[in-house]
Amino acid sequence: AGCMMELIDAALGTIPILGVCLGFQALLEHHGGAVEPCGPVHGKSVPMTLTEAGVKHPVFQDLATDTEPDQPDHLGTQVPVARYHSLGCTDLPRGMRCLARTSTDTGEVAMAAETDDGRALGMQFHPESILTEQGHEVVDHGPLEYDAQDDYPVFVLPTAQAVAADPDSRGIVLG
């Protein structure tokens, strides 16, 4: 993971972090999680199952494909995402909460998680991939600006003008 561990050490808790794929694995390892082989799947759309915390998280709002329009209280949990990895984490480390999982050759692995303080969010899947059909909505819902006012912190990618006006609006993307 190159210098990601040092970068996470320097930023964690002070600068919002979004980890995608390798960046997510680095966040997991930084917190003491084990990232291990889980069977290679590259360039395939797979179902991701949202946890209770994931269903409530703003990044994943209204993305589930198994909702019941005639049953508004039924919250869906299935979100198709692009998988391009052969490594995964089956047991989340302390200090992180799982937002989504998927089945692999070795069991279920975390596909999305965040730190308990909400300052770092990680996704094993690729929201930018065409195989994550609703990936643009994941990005639109906001991966990169922390708002302590929310029950669930939201991340929004800041513009260059926003960073110039407010240096604290920066975030780090690890991938």
The full 3-state SS of 59-90, as one line of letters, equals HHCCCCCCCCCCCCCCCCCEEEEEEEEEEECC
- Alpha-carbon distance of 103 to 131, in angstroms, equals 17
d(CA 8, CA 18): 10
The residue from 21, 38, 89, 98 that is catalytic is 21
Q: Which of 98, 126, 141, 145 is catalytic?
A: 126
Q: At what angle do helices 22-30 and 4-11 cross, to 10 degrees?
A: 60
* Residues ≥6 apart with Cβ < 8 Å to 75: 55, 64, 67
133 is catalytic: no
Residue 128 annotated as catalytic: yes
Q: How far apart are CA 85 and CA 167, in angstroms?
A: 34
Q: Is 82 helix (H, G, I), strand (E, B) or coil?
A: strand
- Structure tokens that stand for 163 in this block: 């960073």
- Point out the catalytic residue in the list 6, 52, 68, 128: 128
Whether residue 21 lies in the annotated active site: yes
Active centre residues (catalytic): 21, 126, 128
